[in-house]
Amino acid sequence: MNPRPDIRGGTFRERMVGFCLTVCFLLPLAMLGCLVLVWVVFFGSTARGRHGVRALDHFVNAAVFDGLAWESISSHAWRERHRPWSRLVIWVTNRWQQDHCRRANKREQPVVDLVLQKGLEKQTIF
């Protein structure tokens, strides 16, 4: 049986499995992860804190800004620098570190290109 994809892509079955996994499994673990990250910031290793913040950055980029899961908000902002939200991100990060978004994109673009070349962004469930 070949399920019919809806107009937004994906099948109803895929959407329901994703919803159930997200609500029952991923969201509770994400909340726990945020609590652990707060603890790590104050008492843990710097490397572990950086890994957690980077993962959170990629999650927010994918979930909020409709970016790729393999790039940061900064890199995505540089790639989409003509959009209003990205101009704001670039302006804010330039106050902290000049050319941060451009450098992030230069560092992450080879990874994004490899992911797209290998088709790793394609559907993996069903």
Chain segment 92-115, per-residue pLDDT in tens: 999 999 999 999 999 999 999 999
Q: Pick from 80, 11, 44, 24: which is nearest to 2 by CA? A: 11
pLDDT at 7 over 70: no
SS3 21: helix
The model's pTM: 0.77
pLDDT of residue 8: 59
Query: 124 versus 119: which is more confidently predicted?
Result: 119
Q: Pick from 125, 124, 122, 121: which is nearest to 68 by CA? A: 121
pLDDT of residue 1: 40
